[in-house]
Amino acid sequence: MLSKKMEEALNKQVNAELFSSYLYLAMAADFEAKNLPGIAHWLGLQAKEENGHGMKFYGYINDRRGRVTLAAIAAPQAEWASPLAAFEAVLAHEEKVTGLINGLVALAAEEKDNATSVLLQWFVTEQVEEEKNADAIVAQLKMVGDKPHALIMLDRALAQRS
């Protein structure tokens, strides 16, 4: 059974993961409107992945006889000045989520909640991948600069994400 403190913290993480999904969906919509379907595709898949993360926490709370309590999801930004600005925002957001996960890890240790610690190790590993992927795209977009043909090639490459 989850402690009340852990249950509340995990519920906050459900909200954070669903906000991540909402944020990436807003980014996908922005880049669909800007005729960059590959970037939109990549972000749309990222939105689905983040929703899955939220549901993983949701299911875990239920599995541990906790009570899921859903809170309002804040409205995300709707437009980004450029693909680089968007992916810099993705990277910053993933770094923030990493901090949230690290806080949960510390709480699980404090609470001596070994089961939650095991769950959270998956998320620790996942956040390394999330930050790495966002950082790589930021680096590529910086290389692309203001060359439209290079951006189109990168857009096509991002469309290959499955």
| 50-108 pLDDT tens trace | 999 999 999 999 999 999 999 999 999 999 999 999 999 999 999 999 999 999 999 99
CATH number for 20: 1.20.1260.10
Question: What values do phi and psi take at 109, rounded to 5?
Answer: -65, -45
Beta strands of the chain (E only): which ranges?
Answer: none
Contact predicate 143/110, CB 8 Å: no
The CA distance from 123 to 46, in Å, is: 15
Q: How many distinct structural domains can be found in the chain?
A: 1
Contact predicate 124/101, CB 8 Å: yes
CA 162 and chain centroid, separation: 17
Domain encompassing residue 103: 4-158
Residue % of the chain over a pLDDT of 70: 100
The total number of residues written for the chain in this structure: 162
pLDDT of the residue at 124: 98
* pLDDT tens per residue, range 29-53: 999 999 999 999 999 999 999 999 9
pLDDT of the residue at 119: 98
